[in-house]
Amino acid sequence: MRAASNVEWQQWGEDDPFYGVASWPGRQRDGVTPWTAEPFYALGQSDWEDFWRRWMSYGLTLGRCVEVGCGAGRMTLAMGNDFAEVIGVDVSEGMLRVARQHIQRPNVDFRLGDGLTLPVESADAVFSAHVFQHLESLALARANFAEAGRILVPGGTMMIHLPVYWPPRGIPGIGTAMALRQRFADVRATIRRRRGRPLMRGLQYPWQWLLRELSTLGFVDVELVAFPVQSNDEHHVCVLARKR
């Protein structure tokens, strides 16, 4: 299994790491107000406080946490204040280069991954934000959930930010229509890639699929939370789950 989106993310790591992570209007390198390190990591601190508060309410062990798709370490820096150890994993060496340049703490480590397996043996917690929404397919997402389940200790928890939807029932042909929509998105992405146009794929998760797959992978106490972040007041949807 390969993800074409890995290549595009690696390119973002070379071209504009901060903007690739936080794509706010005018914040690109040649924009009106390009990101610099201080406001970029301050944004991460603010957002992490919102995520952390909901995760703590669910139940969280502040031991070793693995962040899937840490990018340039926008939230990793803040996470290091709460966890005993944080391991940030990303597929882009360029992103990790920037993260290591700005985050030099004894309890924070950055490791290169391949988007399928995590270079970690065990963890008390797994976190990811603004990553699963860009994965190439549900199959790739399932592989990442399986890896989270593999490294989590029994009772360990994960918090994954991702877009979730409920497919309407009782409408003839709705399943076929949604499958065709996904196929159209795949074809459009292929065409744009062949023309050399960078993109970020958008992937949504059917709630029933998510419940079924997480249960199969050994997760329990699955919950869905939606909350606004202080930085821009936009609601973020996350799935919380515990390893049996």
Strand-pair category, 219-228 with 164-165: unpaired
Residue carrying structure tokens 């920037």: 98
> How far is it, in rounded angstroms, from Cα 82 to Cα 97?
23
Q: Under CATH, which number does the domain 4-167+198-243 receive?
A: 3.40.50.150
If pLDDT is split at 50, 70 and 90, which confidence band does 190 have? low
Q: What is the mean pLDDT of the chain?
A: 89
The lowest-confidence range among 71-80, 91-100, 201-210, 230-239 is 201-210
Three-state DSSP at 226 gives strand
The residue among 43, 34, 35 whose CA lies nearest residue 234 is 43
pLDDT score recorded for residue 7: 80
pLDDT in tens, 98-129: 999 999 999 999 999 999 999 999 999 999 99
- 3-state SS of 151-166? HEEEEEEEEEECCEEC
Written in H, E and C, the secondary structure of 67-131 is EECCCCCCCHHHHCCCCCEEEEEECCHHHHHHHHHHCCCCCEEEEECCCCCCCCCCEEEEEECCC
- pLDDT tens for 44-99 read 999 999 999 999 999 999 999 999 999 999 999 999 999 999 999 999 999 999 99
Q: Which two tokens stand for residue 184?
A: 């159209």
Which helix (DSSP H) or strand (DSSP E) does residue 235 occupy?
strand 235-243
Rounded to an integer, what distance in angstroms lies between the CA atom of residue 127 and that of residue 135? Answer: 15
Q: How far apart are CA 177 and CA 175, in angstroms?
A: 5
Q: Is 231 helix (H, G, I), strand (E, B) or coil?
A: coil
Domain boundaries, the chain: 4-167+198-243
φ, ψ for residue 187, nearest 5 deg: -65, -45
Tell me the pLDDT band of 6, cut-offs 50, 70 and 90: confident
User: What was the pLDDT predicted at 179?
Assistant: 57
Asked whether the predicted pLDDT for residue 4 surpasses 70, the reply is no
Contacts of 217 (CB under 8 A, 6+ apart): 142, 145, 146, 149
pLDDT-derived band of residue 189, with 50, 70 and 90 as boundaries?
low
